[in-house]
Structure 1
């Protein structure tokens, strides 16, 4: 019976330590404040707008360019 109680205390202790060590990660507390964990800078709004516009606009246009290429290739108008 005594070993069962010690086992429970050990498991409880591990879960408390694990939850305390994971809480900054779960809350999103990164050193340096918000925006430091991003792969791009957020301070300059114009550069951010151009970067995101180019990234999203470029990836959004890929299917349309692929369809245009396939239609030109099918009609034989591809030079």
Structure 2
């Protein structure tokens, strides 16, 4: 099973929140609030992508055979689940 990595997006969003909400615009000509908002949005998008791409995927393989056993045809169906990591 593939582990979902959510630490990076959460840290990025936290840094963005600190810049947006807690740090006053002490540096002129550098909009820290805008940079913080961009970091929070990027962290949110990254988190959603990690959750979507990190989920477990599986497929079902179905094998069907017709067996003629003494003149009476019968069908055998086998289903097998294959997990992709």
TM-score by length of 1: 0.37
Quick one: higher RCO (CA 8 Å, sep 6+), 1 or 2?
A: 2
TM-score by length of 2: 0.35
